[in-house]
Amino acid sequence: MSVTKLAIKLTPEESLSFTRDNLRKRIQGEILHLALSFVKTLRDADDIETHIIRAMSLLGEKTHKWNIEEEFIKPLSSIFKLPEVKILFSSEAVSVLCEQSIVYPQKTPECKPFVIRPDRIVLFKDKVVVADFKSEKPLKESGNIMNKYKNQIQEYVQIVQEVFERPSEGYLLFIKQNTIKKVC
């Protein structure tokens, strides 16, 4: 007996569905994120196929199950052509942190510290840039999901600004939409 669909109710407005298609999209998103973590500057983007194959290998994915050109190379190559993306992959950065956890202490003793994990933090001498990558497009620009994304980036920016003691700005990069949005 095989299960073709499992739905878990999260809120009255949302549910999480585990279909083969959804799982494939999730794995694709993990591959895209990991491949992007290997790209420090735009020069590294020239070898995007190698980064994709490396990501697939590390995640235990078989390359023959994917159309690498259509599902990975084209979307990633397109985002690197966006002028606004240069700040996320700048060779002028002092340091780039990908998928690094930051433990942030709460202001009051009764609250436990919490951890954030932005997809990318780019440290410059005079500022910090935070980005979160989204492999799926939000349902609509003003919807609940988009608001959650924006709130997430705003929280990251506040914490990163405090931790690194520099002005900070935050971006959402929508890979499949080939769009980058400055949130704050």
DSSP string, 124-178: -SS-EEEEEEESS--S-TTSHHHHHHHHHHHHHHHHHHHHHTS-EEEEEEETTTT
Sign, CA torsion 173/38/70/61: negative
Segment 89-100 shows an average pLDDT of 94
User: Could you tell me if 123 and 93 are in contact, meaning their C-beta atoms sit under 8 angstroms apart?
Assistant: yes
pLDDT digits (tens, 9 = 90+) for 38-75: 999 999 999 999 999 999 999 999 999 999 999 999 99
Can you give the pLDDT at residue 64? 93
Can you give the pLDDT at residue 153? 95
- Tell me whether residue 61 is exposed, middle or buried, using C-beta atoms within 10 angstroms of its C-beta: 0 to 12, 13 to 18, 19 or more: middle
In the 3-class helix/strand/coil scheme, how is 18-33 assigned residue by residue? CCHHHHHHHHHHHHHH
Can you give the pLDDT at residue 19? 77
User: Could you tell me if 151 and 112 are in contact, meaning their C-beta atoms sit under 8 angstroms apart?
Assistant: no
Distance separating alpha carbons of residues 120 and 99, to the nearest angstrom: 6
Give yes or no for residue 112 having a pLDDT over 80. Answer: no
* Closest-CA residue to 177 (of 146, 152, 153): 146
Distance separating alpha carbons of residues 55 and 33, to the nearest angstrom: 9
Distance separating alpha carbons of residues 65 and 168, to the nearest angstrom: 40
Q: In this structure, which topology does domain 84-182 adopt according to CATH?
A: Lambda Exonuclease; Chain A (3.90.320)
Range scoring the smallest mean pLDDT among 5-9, 65-69, 91-95, 165-169? 5-9
Domain spans of the chain?
7-82, 84-182
Segment 109-133 shows an average pLDDT of 90
